[in-house]
Structure 1
Amino acid sequence: MLGILWLIITLLIYGLSKKLYRAYPKVYFSPLLITPLALIIGLMLTNVSFDTYNGGGKWLSLMLQPATIAFAIPLYKYYDVLKKHAIEILASVLTGSIVAIFSSALFAEWLHLDHQLISSLVPRSVTTPIAMSVSQVIGGVPNITAVFVIITGLLGSMIGPMVVKALRIDGEVARGVLLGTSAHGTGTSKAFELSSLTGTISSISMILAALFTLTTAPLLIALMFH
Structure 2
Amino acid sequence: MTALLSFMGTIGVYWTAKRLHRKKPILLFSPLLLTPAVLVAVLLWTQTPYESYAAGAHYLSDMLQPATVAFAVPLYKHSALLRKHAKEIIAGVLAGSAAAIGSAVWLAELLHLESPLAYSLIPRSVTTPIAMNVSQTIGGIPAMTAVFVMMTGLLGAIIGPFVIRLCHIRSDVAKGILLGTSAHGAGTSKAFEISSVSGAISSVSMIVAAVAALVAVPWALSFVGTL
TM-score by length of 2: 0.95
4+ residue stretches of structure 1 with deviation over 4 A? 223-226
Q: Hey, what does 1:220 align to over in structure 2? A: 220
| SS at structure 1 position matched to 2:25 | coil
Distance of 1:107 and 1:44 partners within structure 2: 29
Q: Hey, what does 2:195 align to over in structure 1? A: 195
| SS at structure 2 position matched to 1:170 | coil
Q: What is the Cα deviation at residue 24 of structure 1?
A: 2.2
Distance of 1:25 and 1:171 partners within structure 2: 25
Q: How does 1:1-226 map to 2 (within 5 A)?
A: 1-222=1-222
| SS at structure 2 position matched to 1:34 | helix
| SS at structure 2 position matched to 1:206 | helix
Q: What is the Cα deviation at residue 28 of structure 1?
A: 2.3
Distance of 2:177 and 2:23 partners within structure 1: 27
Distance of 1:9 and 1:224 partners within structure 2: 39
Equivalent pairs, count = 226
Distance of 1:175 and 1:66 partners within structure 2: 25
Distance of 1:111 and 1:223 partners within structure 2: 15
Q: What is the Cα deviation at residue 116 of structure 1?
A: 2.0
Deviations 1:6-57 (A, max 9, x none): 2111111111211222222223211111111111111122222111111110
TM-score by length of 1: 0.95
Q: What is the Cα deviation at residue 225 of structure 1?
A: 5.2
Is the Cα–Cα contact under 8 Å of residues 32 and 150 in structure 2 kept in the other structure? Answer: yes
| SS at structure 2 position matched to 1:25 | coil
RMSD, aligned α-carbons: 1.4
| SS at structure 2 position matched to 1:134 | helix
Amino acid at match of 1:103: S
Sequence identity percentage: 53
Amino acid at match of 2:145: T
Deviations 1:119-161 (A, max 9, x none): 1111111111111111122221111111111111111111111
Amino acid at match of 1:145: T
Range that drifts further, 22-31 or 79-88: 22-31
